[in-house]
Amino acid sequence: MRILHSVPADDGFYMPAEFSPHYGCIMIFPHRRDSWQNGAYAARKAFAEVIGIISQTEKVTVCARYDDYDSARFMLPENVRVIEMESDDSWARDVAPTFVTNGKEIRGIDWGFNAWGGLEDGLYFPWDRDNKMARKLCDLLDVDTYDKRSFILEGGSIHSDGEGTIMTTESCLLSRGRNPDMTREQIEAELLRCLGAKKVLWLRRGIYNDETNEHVDNICAFTSPGEVVLSWTDDRSDPQYEMSASCLEYLESVTDARGRRITVHKLPLPAPVTVTEEECAGLDDMNGVPTRTPGERLAASYANFYISNGHVLVPQFGDKNDEKAIDILSGLFPTRKVVGVYARDILIGGGNIHCITQQIPAAGLR
Amino acid sequence: MRILHSVPADDGFYMPAEFSPHYGCIMIFPHRRDSWQNGAYAARKAFAEVIGIISQTEKVTVCARYDDYDSARFMLPENVRVIEMESDDSWARDVAPTFVTNGKEIRGIDWGFNAWGGLEDGLYFPWDRDNKMARKLCDLLDVDTYDKRSFILEGGSIHSDGEGTIMTTESCLLSRGRNPDMTREQIEAELLRCLGAKKVLWLRRGIYNDETNEHVDNICAFTSPGEVVLSWTDDRSDPQYEMSASCLEYLESVTDARGRRITVHKLPLPAPVTVTEEECAGLDDMNGVPTRTPGERLAASYANFYISNGHVLVPQFGDKNDEKAIDILSGLFPTRKVVGVYARDILIGGGNIHCITQQIPAAGLR
């Protein structure tokens, strides 16, 4: 593995869309007792279900801590690769590399990671184990890695259409906890240089109470170039209404890197999902402080799906809109099987199926 | 990775010779402060030199503990893969899988490991990190693994000619610390079943003061089928004389699996190498007990070489026989470059170049 200090765009590399072919997928076996109730017991089952589906059409590599290797190996299918790697938590989307390709070869980008806001408004301290994973994963896969550790970014805060357009949220990328010394223009330029893109679409907000400062991957996703799904509620009394409406207004006002207008498909939200007293009781405190409060609203959204080679894995919440979300996505992904996974036990950790996965593009893995 | 409980021989698998083509080599970045003086400072340099040479013609994968990853990555060449894996010490030969092949596919054997003798006469406790490595390395390489954890064996205690003959030592394989409930016949049968072989050659002894109970890989090695080098001294006052002589007598009395008589090339030993007071001072105690005593004789031998695709890496001790060993091996390996590596800083840990390496055969790695 070479550690590169050049610019991906200058080297002819770009970030492909998630719906392009994958070599595989990276995930992390959950363990953190203040993120996942009951020692991650239920979370591991939910992760295993996700892994089981993805591994039908992709090579899944699961990172397990030394102490968790045997449990992971026992729980997961034979065709899944379990490797030993320390982590602070289990959000592969945000700590694994963002892969770029030139069509022949892939490389990984090793962004700086500071637990979604560092000492400003991050979610835990320390985060050094997480921050070291991207480089180690490139080493493991034997692909070169771009050293972008000086730029704080999580994979969940960006989407690519693979044709020059990146989508992100202002609330996250302009947050004080990430790159406070960079202007919006500088951040945009860095995204374009690193991701080999031509245009950044800046949604204003994400999902209400999303503790990542509202990652784009929880509210909106490309389903094909020029086409997105947007999490939506018609309930004007819900604080989410204004947030989603601002995104819709923006998306209807812009064109993408190829000059196309964006087709927006509204993806209904489930009714507000709140954490129960029992669930909170199963979570360890963090330095003596509870990490969740009974009744707290969780950032539930169907937009947090993962597009694998053969499936679209969609979170389900036991809500009347569960099926509707699957129907909408089935129409938009006609070549894939759209499957629901009951994901409450992932959501309690603070994210969902997209957040716990990171695709490895197909091109040219040695 | 499938965990297999069948018998390699029944499945058509056998252990190829080390001089057959390799896909790569597994090594471990040293760290143990009671094995390697001065926090493994000198050992890391010596390991890095070995890795540098092997990596010229093979893909080297180096296991580093979480805390050592950055140091290893910094010290080692770019084309070497560094992966995170816990270990108790750094003897890849003994803790990595023994690979077998059917010519199309390779599989790993996960032997039981108990630190060269367990609570009977093992060298450290606990050894659980080491014992878990073989399976994890198969998982990493995405090859199936035979679960042979109930049978205690180290890779350094066996050599294969790739044509049905296994060579080992009685002192090690019949030691009380390994498989005390098995007879010699049962142990031999297990070797043949696991390694897909037809005959076991049983040398009586190994190298004087070799704390592995005298592994075969420190005294004798196949250079081609039917041909071996044997560590030798002409000094009849040296306790090694009788040990080597017993091996010579045995080897001259037997035939291999193909019915060939064995051609034995004597490989001179260096003059006795003893550990210095300064070296001992650089070693941490083990539970309050020194691991080496000044003046203690180390198990130095030129037979502890590694055969890579392009090189034969031979330990050097600053002895008058260093060059002679290289000359003899150069004659026996005409298609490879025979190179010396000053190996005192590996020897102090208790083994040498062969002990810190484990080849991965070339056939059919996915």
The residues of A carrying an active-site annotation are: 355
Chain B CB contacts of A3 under 8 Å are: 78
Contact A81 B142 (CB under 8 A): yes
Q: Total structural domains in chain A?
A: 1
In percent, the amount of chain B with pLDDT more than 70 equals 99
Residues A180-191: tens digit of each pLDDT = 999 999 999 999
pLDDT value for A81: 98
Residues B243-263: tens digit of each pLDDT = 999 999 999 999 999 999 999
Residues A222-261: tens digit of each pLDDT = 999 999 999 999 999 999 999 999 999 999 999 999 999 9
Summarize the confidence of residues A285-307 as an average pLDDT: 96
Where residue A363 falls among pLDDT bands split at 50, 70, 90?
confident
pLDDT value for A366: 44
Please indicate, yes or no, if residue A283 is contained in any of the structural domains: yes
Please indicate, yes or no, if residue B309 is contained in any of the structural domains: yes
- pLDDT above 70: residue A365: no
pLDDT value for A119: 97
pLDDT value for B365: 54
CATH number for the domain spanning B272: value is: 3.75.10.10
Question: Any CB–CB contact under 8 A between A277 and chain B?
Answer: no
Please indicate, yes or no, if residue B151 is contained in any of the structural domains: yes
Question: Any CB–CB contact under 8 A between A365 and chain B?
Answer: no
- pLDDT above 80: residue B90: yes
pLDDT value for B283: 96
Q: Which tokens hold the place of A275?
A: 């954490």
Please indicate, yes or no, if residue A213 is contained in any of the structural domains: yes
Q: Which domain holds residue B175?
A: 3-361
Q: If you search the block for the tokens 């894995």, which residue do you land on? A: A313
- φ, ψ of residue A112 to 5 degrees: the values are -70, 140
What is chain A's mean pLDDT, rounded? 97
Contact A136 B78 (CB under 8 A): no
Q: State the pTM of this model.
A: 0.96
Question: Any CB–CB contact under 8 A between A265 and chain B?
Answer: no
- pLDDT above 60: residue A290: yes
What is chain B's mean pLDDT, rounded? 97
Where residue B366 falls among pLDDT bands split at 50, 70, 90?
very low
In percent, the amount of chain A with pLDDT more than 90 equals 99
Please indicate, yes or no, if residue B327 is contained in any of the structural domains: yes
Contact B78 A142 (CB under 8 A): no
Distance, in Å, from the CA atom of B8 to the CA atom of A359, rounded to the nearest integer, reads 35
pLDDT value for B10: 98
Distance, in Å, from the CA atom of B328 to the CA atom of B228, rounded to the nearest integer, reads 12
Please indicate, yes or no, if residue B282 is contained in any of the structural domains: yes
Residues B31-72: tens digit of each pLDDT = 999 999 999 999 999 999 999 999 999 999 999 999 999 999
pLDDT value for B364: 59
Question: Any CB–CB contact under 8 A between A82 and chain B?
Answer: yes
Please indicate, yes or no, if residue A366 is contained in any of the structural domains: no
Chain A CB contacts of B140 under 8 Å are: 81, 83, 140
- pLDDT above 70: residue B102: yes
In percent, the amount of chain B with pLDDT more than 90 equals 99
pLDDT value for B363: 75
Q: Which of B312, B242, B301 is nearest to B267 (CA)?
A: B301
User: What number of other Cβ atoms are within 10 A of residue A288's Cβ?
Assistant: 5
Question: Any CB–CB contact under 8 A between A83 and chain B?
Answer: yes
- pLDDT above 90: residue A315: yes
Q: CA angle, A322 as apex, A317 and A328 as ends, to 5°?
A: 145
Please indicate, yes or no, if residue B345 is contained in any of the structural domains: yes
Q: Best mutation site among B79, B107, B136 for testing chain A: the one with the most A CBs within 10 Å?
A: B136
In percent, the amount of chain A with pLDDT more than 70 equals 99
Residue pairs between chains A and B whose CB atoms are closer than 8 Å: 51
Chain A CB contacts of B86 under 8 Å are: 66, 84
Chain B CB contacts of A1 under 8 Å are: 78, 81
Where residue A76 falls among pLDDT bands split at 50, 70, 90?
very high
